[in-house]
Structure 1
């Protein structure tokens, strides 16, 4: 990374040079809509690439009340702030520790009393770099900080010096919209469609607007993902970025000077999230982390973010062997557990080889209305007449780890704990507790909250040998808390950070504990959360057919081995639907529910087959591999979907011998024909094996699907039934 540190302006990025680790293949769609997925993918050579930036966009942008903080042009964007423009280079230093290279650049404005440092970190061998930005007030007057984007950067170009006529024309943006039950809805957009050409040069000003994506409140991914991909096939440049925060955030893309595109990445702001913080003299604030990777194409960017997530995960060793998890909630007990209902499920789960049995919501409730009674986390006596220990012992007898569902950040209004804890332990607004859907919100900045939840975890681990917790979260309390905070957003940010530190503390006290992150399904799948949890539930979607869209896109938001995609086959399903439901979880972290005790012997064998192939063939490859999408990122309504896992090694002989995994889903398609482009196998003889629903080579006649390998063009022709739901998981090797 080359920076301009001249005396007449703030520090700005001049160029970036990078070398991909491997030869990778691009699956970037070339046109809008789901039909864009059907495009050839061409190999891209692994070689050093240099990106140059014509303009000088300040990497640090600041808004603060009363300190010359107006934008140089307008206030609708994160960039072009006068305080950002006033910064000047002060010093820099580099160091290397624990396999990570660090660069710190310091800037200052003596006039405005601001010192700013920006820390860049990149792990050895990786392309994706992490950035945090800190600001310090050096004046006697308070600094009221209202916005501090962590990082701002131009798109750049690769064709040398000169000014392009239109720096946005060839660029496309991929973004992901989420909703409860509707996670993972990716789409590609032309930047010129969302940032129109306005001829600003005629008035001598840059555009006032930008295309922004904003998340509010505590569901960090409830509306969209805090990540995006920007790609220019002509330039051969792809950027992938993510904001690593479990609370509010904003990213934006737009047009800067000289018609260059830019992106800016930020945590909470005053205008969007009611966030501000007051810095007294010598006080400092640090922004939320963000990470960015350059790449030559889409697949290379996906490999880069996957490697990055594995490197920066808190407990990478725990991710290498995903366990088989049974949970009693989805399409099964639905929060109404009891001894009588659980014992048959426990027996059945043990018989098919599950390693963890998690009792979901309701285990603590005596009233039959579990929602407003959460908080004390003491076992129900009416649901478990012989005590919860009887059920936990049954789980252990089946050689499974006992698990429990918790919602640690809330206390129900009917819980006895609501009267025991002081108001200071909860989110407040104007002196009153915040109430959302019959719950109070615990404030993890408060030591009493920490002590209470530590005691809960210690008690459950000690009394019942709980080795697995499912941490859920199901409310939206608004912008935050005003108790002991400069603004609601500042209180929420403090809580978000304190909650992560509490999770880290649990691992220090209970190093063998396995914790799942669930937030109304997939409402908090940001990297701040996924980097400290072993797996994440990806959705609460109860339609197994619709879930395929979520399963297929989950590895864009998290590591594939973390993706807890629910498989919930049912006794009344036909064989193809039954296998489809199980296939949803195979290229992730095996996550099972359903009334196993009602399955026929044939159906139980299908479950055992899925678990067996996951253990023997799939799980290890998923935990070490990189996702790719031979048909492009799936659309929500696509009738044919495909997700692949390839080796992280070079796509040479070793990588080919490792083989690739591919799951193909077909949902009531009217066209039973599909062509899967696999250019890494072009001009190679391939063996294609059906791993699930049954082990058979392609020359077997029992499969209702048919496969034809086209060596010359490197593609697999697939024929599947045109009715109902049907899916296959394949292993393809040279």
Structure 2
């Protein structure tokens, strides 16, 4: 009687680095899978087996019936060929025998996380049409996870939601339905060219004691991420543009390639805040820093609650005087300085308005420098206004088009940076402004959602948008190579295009266009979940009509990130101006420590209407803790800060908030009304 041979283990290979251990398996009947992901060879794995990539091509059958984008034929038929290690990268090569499709998956170590991307190559003799490629796929066993995602809109950025995964993907008892699989799926999708205009390209699957995972999609074009159920697991799928959601299609002729947008993935041993801390360190690891970035300078901008795109010599000179006295290091002239003075319709004509400034723009630049500040200026590089000369002179192919017509969004045409004429227009403008005026800071804005994309030289408009955004990032990187001492801000109508496709090369990110200081508190407190604290340009715009407490409230938002100063500072009373100078001094004292900090939310991620909001920027031994009160008096317990000491460091001249202990837990007494305090916690 013959005996059955014991099952043989799957062929596998490992990738081990400090704090990171992955084991992959593969076989004749399945693609390469992540079989184990842990912080070390002996640590527990958080991952369930899952193929590392999924590919959807035209005409392919689905292998599963549900709302998910997962499980297309070409991806499931991939088979391992070889892998290789190259420094901090692991490259895994697979091939689909039927069609000759080849995929190279790259896992790049970055801080505590991985940056993942896949290159699809057509190795066949006929063309294929690519409809979607995952940027990353990770599965975890079902458990007590909370799914965290962010909603956003103009003036109301960063509204985070946290709910148990069991509520979002309920148990429908598939066994009772003859063993059919769950169809549950929770998806978050961008729409159009505002990459963060409706949802944020970041998510967390958190467990109170860990391990938790966090991810982000690194593109300024279309993106989608989803959590779906599958036989006892929850799978997170991260995508760039797709056919289903973004009208993406990419034809690959024999030998041609397409690379997915990158996705960042992090694992943390703790819960929500630990996951965001890991993502924070990952973001720092993928930034392309230059020496000029290290100064973290404080910028005054004349727009918010101030000139609102109406500059003149008469208006600017008092602002320059007051900004310098307050402690600003850069002064940025915002929109309205070019063309005929209409900031919207003249975008694209990047020459100063004749006669607008006494002695010309250079006289204003000289006034800025005379006060010890560096000059900055506003551009909207991708926009050409309806009255701009560039709209008449550039070729039609240099603009977004659909169905043979230019995309016209409220009087703005969208430049396509894949076209050399579009890039040349902005290269000339930036180089001239740097060479002629000594500009050292550019505020790069983006104020319209141009829609799904362009069908010029593209198989689908979503592919056109992706190509443009990649070309725009290249343009921005090239501009910095030519001008290494110039800083560039990424501003997208506030934070409507807040993603690490651009933030990995930009210096600063405006976190909102919100002009109500009371509402800005929730935006500023939530910003470090989306952007590094040292890049989070939180506006601080004190006004003469604000009370003393309201002035401190408004300045607190700026201190807790990158203080982005505005307002008619010269009209403030001495007491209010002293509060401004005090906040600036505190920020300067802490800015390099903020650049090493991790965000913590002692009261949870802020709700839009919360009466009390808290943000802690933690460096380990010490922290800055901001508390904003926006309602009735309250007593706030901070159990996570048990045993720590508190020192009120802003504002020092206003009444000290009472902090007492109850069983060792700090209790802060927050008064009625709009008031804020910042504490050094040690």
TM-score bracket for this pair, using the shorter chain length: over 0.9
Q: Do residues 60 (structure 1) and 53 (structure 2) align?
A: yes
- 1:446-485 alignment runs, 5 A limit: 446-485=419-458
CA displacement 1:186-242 (0-9 Å, x = unmatched)? 1111212111212223333322341100002110000011111102337x3211011
Give me the whole-angstrom Cα distance separating, in 2, the residues matched to 1:307 and 1:53: 21
* Residues 1:638 and 2:590 aligned together: no
1:374-413 matched pairs, under 5 angstroms: 374-413=347-386
TM-score (norm 1): 0.87
Q: Which residue number in structure 1 is paired with residue 39 of structure 2?
A: 18
Is 2:633 aligned against 1:671? yes
Tell me which residue corresponds to 1:89: 80
Distance 1:533 1:52 in 2: 34
Distance 2:278 2:530 in 1: 13
Tell me how far 1:52 sits from its aligned partner: 5.2
Deviation string, structure 1 residues 459-510 (Cα, Å, up to 9, x no partner): 1111111100000001111111111111111111110100000000011100
2:532 corresponds to 1:559: yes
Q: Secondary structure at the match of 2:368?
A: helix
CA contact (8 A) 1:310 1:316 kept: no
Secondary structure class of the residue paired with 2:134: coil
Q: Residues 318, 550 of structure 1: CA spacing in aligned structure 2 closer, same or farther, 3 A cutoff?
A: farther
Query: Offset of 1:606 from its aligned partner?
Result: 1.3
CA distance in 2, matches of 1:204, 1:115: 34
**1:10-49 to 2 correspondences below 5 Å:** 10-18=31-39, 49=43
**In the TM superposition, what is the alpha-carbon distance from 1:308 to its structure 2 partner?**
1.2
Deviation at 1:416? 1.2
SS in 2 for 1:226: strand
The one of 697, 705, 709 equivalent to 2:657 is: 705
1:130 aligns with 2:115: yes
Q: Is the 8 A contact 2:512 2:523 kept in 1?
A: yes
CA distance in 2, matches of 1:331, 1:672: 31
Deviation at residue 719 of structure 1 after TM alignment: 1.2
Is 1:50 equivalent to 2:44 in the alignment? Answer: yes
* 8 Å CA contact retained: 1:621, 1:645: no
Q: Describe the SS at the equivalent of 1:678.
A: helix
What's the TM-score, normalizing by structure 2? 0.94
Q: Supply the distance in 2 between the matched residues of 1:325 and 1:383 (Cα, whole angstroms).
A: 23
Secondary structure class of the residue paired with 1:565: strand
Residue equivalent to 2:191:
216
Alignment of 1:455-534 (within 5 A): 455-534=428-507
Q: Equivalent residue for 1:39?
A: none
- Paired residue for 1:74, among 60, 65, 68? 65
2:147 aligned residue: 173
Question: Are 2:652 and 1:694 aligned?
Answer: yes
Q: CA deviation at 1:51?
A: 1.3
1:204 aligned residue (162, 167, 179)? 179
Structure 2 counterpart SS, 1:72: coil
- How much does 1:663 deviate? 0.6
Q: Is 1:307 equivalent to 2:307 in the alignment?
A: no
Distance 1:273 1:312 in 2: 26
- SS in structure 2 of the partner of residue 528 of structure 1: coil
3-state secondary structure, aligned to 1:281: coil
Secondary structure of 1:381 counterpart: coil
**Separation in structure 2 between the aligned mates of residue 630 and residue 320 of structure 1, nearest angstrom:** 29
State whether structure 2 residue 333 is matched by structure 1 residue 359.
yes
Q: Which residue matches 2:233?
A: 260
Partner of 2:12: none
**What is the CA-CA distance between 1:678 and the residue it aligns to?**
3.0
Gaps of 5+ in 1: 20-46, 157-166, 648-654, 696-701
Are 1:102 and 2:52 counterparts?
Answer: no
Query: Do the aligned residues in 1 keep the contact of 2:83 with 2:93 (CA within 8 Å)?
Result: yes
Looking at structure 2, the residues matched to 110 and 122 of structure 1 have their Cα atoms a distance apart, in angstroms, of: 30
Separation in 2, partners of 1:77, 1:664: 41
Q: Which piece of structure 1 moves more, 597-606 or 401-410?
A: 597-606
Picking from 24, 32, 35, the partner of 1:3 is 24
**Is 1:721 paired with 2:671?**
yes
Alignment CA distance shift 1:174-1:48 (3 Å):
farther
Aligned partner of residue 27 in structure 2, secondary structure: coil
Post-superposition shift, 1:318?
A: 4.2
The 5 A counterparts of 1:160-309 are 167-168=142-143, 170-201=144-175, 202-233=177-208, 236-256=210-230, 258-297=231-270, 298-309=272-283
Q: Which residue of 1 aligns with 2:14?
A: none
Cα deviations across residues 517-548 of structure 1 (Å, max 9, x unaligned)? 11010111111121111110000001000000
Query: How many Å separate the matches in 2 of 1:370 and 1:613?
Result: 35
Query: Does 2:557 match 1:584?
Result: yes
Q: How does 1:415-434 map to 2 (within 5 A)?
A: 415-434=388-407
| Deviation of 1:329 (Å) | 0.6
Partner of residue 301, structure 2: 327
Alpha-carbon offset, residue 57 of structure 1: 2.6
For 1:59 and 1:732, how far apart are their aligned partners in 2?
Answer: 43
- State the distance in 2 between where 1:144 and 1:154 align: 27
- Alignment deviations for residues 336-392 of structure 1 (CA, whole Å, 9 cap, x no partner): 11111111111111111210111111111425x321111011111242242111111
For residues 174 and 138 of structure 1, the distance between their equivalents in structure 2, rounded to whole angstroms, comes to: 40
The 1:53–1:561 alpha-carbon spacing in structure 2 relative to 1, beyond 3 Å, is closer
> Which residue of the partner structure matches residue 594 of structure 2?
622
Distance 1:319 1:418 in 2: 34
Contact 2:292 2:486 in 1 (8 A): no
Mapped to 1, the partners of 2:295 and 2:660 lie a distance apart of 33
Answering whether residue 98 of structure 2 is matched by residue 111 of structure 1, we say yes
Look up the match of 1:662.
625
**Residues of 1 paired with 2:659 and 2:295: CA distance?**
31
C-alpha distance in 2, partners of 1:408/1:358? 16
The one-character-per-residue Cα deviations of 1:269-323 (angstroms, maximum 9, x if unpaired) are: 0111000000000111100000111112223222211111111101165444321
CA distance in structure 1 between the aligned counterparts of 2:347 and 2:228, rounded to whole angstroms: 45
Structure 2: runs of 5+ lacking an equivalent: 1-21
Could you say what secondary structure the match of 1:530 adopts?
coil
SS of equivalent to 2:559: coil
**Of 314, 319, 330, which residue of structure 2 is paired with 1:345?**
319
- 8 Å CA contact 2:205–2:212 kept in 1: the answer is yes
**SS of residue matched to 1:403:** strand
Hey, what's the Cα distance between the residues in 2 that align with 1:188 and 1:130? 25
**Residues 1:154 and 2:145 are matched in the alignment:** no
Partners of 1:323 and 1:590 within 8 A in 2:
no
SS at match of 2:567: coil
Instruction: Provide, for residues 630-685 of structure 1, a one-character-per-residue CA deviation record: whole Å limited to 9, x for no partner.
Output: 111111111101111111xxxxxxx43xx1110111012x2331112234x53xxx
Contact 1:319 / 1:562 at 8 angstroms: preserved in 2? no
